């Protein structure tokens, strides 16, 4: 029986290769050389027999509908694990990937959705890659208080670090960037009425309410 971790690493590799513009792996050796996957041709053929992948001309591999679903869940767990380790546990970038790879295999679907909710349903991993949506994202159900929340939900006087921004347009994202409103920046909410006013360093800015719904922040620890 194939180790589940090996299966997940193979599926994740195929998925990420496609994100890079490869519809399938051009050379099967590419996947057998992935250290974490520990795959060989026998394992790949077994997965093909199980209807998870299909192999073309003994040189290319792609996901079936069944494999697609499994790969999506695996990628979601991995990228949420990266977010959790990065944003909450503050694991350094140099060891982030290694730890996320180990952690992702222990997550059930219930725990995965709880982590997603806790982090405010992030759209991307720390590297900017998209995180597949889950049921918790579709229902917008909040069972726990998120550590990452929209700027509009912060309390006056609170400071927070911008984790991610979901702009309604690229032009808005560019405009925010020109004002210093980018992921990693520390902002303080000064007032909410009659308009939202925030402080970034020595700069004070008034922003529209709609924008405060697009900026997600993690509250800074109070000293």
**For the chain, which residues make up each domain, given as ranges?**
4-63, 77-139, 148-219
CB 142, CB 117: distance < 8 Å? yes
pLDDT tens for 16-59 read 888 877 655 545 556 666 555 566 777 888 888 899 988 877 67
Q: How many CB atoms lie within 10 A of CB 10?
A: 29
Sign of the torsion angle spanned by Cα atoms 193, 199, 203, 207:
negative
pLDDT tens for 132-147 read 998 888 765 555 567 7
Beta-carbon-side half-sphere exposure of residue 99 (alpha carbons within 13 Å): 15
According to the model, what pLDDT value does residue 72 have?
Answer: 93
CATH numeric code, 148-219? 2.30.30.90
Which band of pLDDT confidence, cut at 50, 70 and 90, is reported for residue 223?
A: very low
Q: Burial letters for 186-202: b for 16+ Cβ neighbours within 10 Å, e otherwise?
A: ebbbeeeeeebbbebee
Topology given in CATH for the domain delimited by 77-139: Arc Repressor Mutant, subunit A (1.10.10)
0.75 surpassed by pTM? no
């Amino acid at each position: 029986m194939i180790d589940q971790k090996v299966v997940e690493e193979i599926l994740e590799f195929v998925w990420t290769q496609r994100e890079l513009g490869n519809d399938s792996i051009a050379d099967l050796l590419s996947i057998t050389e992935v250290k974490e996957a520990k795959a060989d041709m026998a394992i790949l053929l077994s997965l093909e027999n199980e209807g998870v992948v299909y192999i073309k001309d003994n040189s290319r591999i792609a996901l079936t509908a069944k494999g697609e679903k499994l790969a999506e869940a695996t990628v979601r767990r991995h990228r949420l694990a990266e977010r959790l380790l990065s944003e909450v546990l503050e694991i350094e970038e140099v060891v982030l990937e290694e730890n996320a790879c180990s952690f992702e295999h222990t997550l059930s679907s219930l725990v995965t959705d709880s982590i997603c909710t806790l982090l405010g349903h992030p759209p991307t991993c720390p590297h900017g890659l998209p995180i597949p949506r889950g049921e918790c994202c579709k229902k917008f159900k909040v069972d726990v208080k998120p550590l990452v929340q929209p700027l509009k939900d912060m309390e006056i006087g609170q400071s927070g670090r911008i984790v991610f921004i979901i702009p309604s347009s690229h032009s808005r994202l560019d405009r925010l960037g020109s004002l210093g409103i980018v992921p990693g920046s520390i902002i303080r909410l000064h007032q909410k009425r009659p308009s939202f006013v925030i402080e970034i360093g020595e700069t004070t800015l008034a922003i529209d309410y709609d924008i405060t719904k697009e900026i997600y922040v993690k509250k800074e620890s109070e000293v």
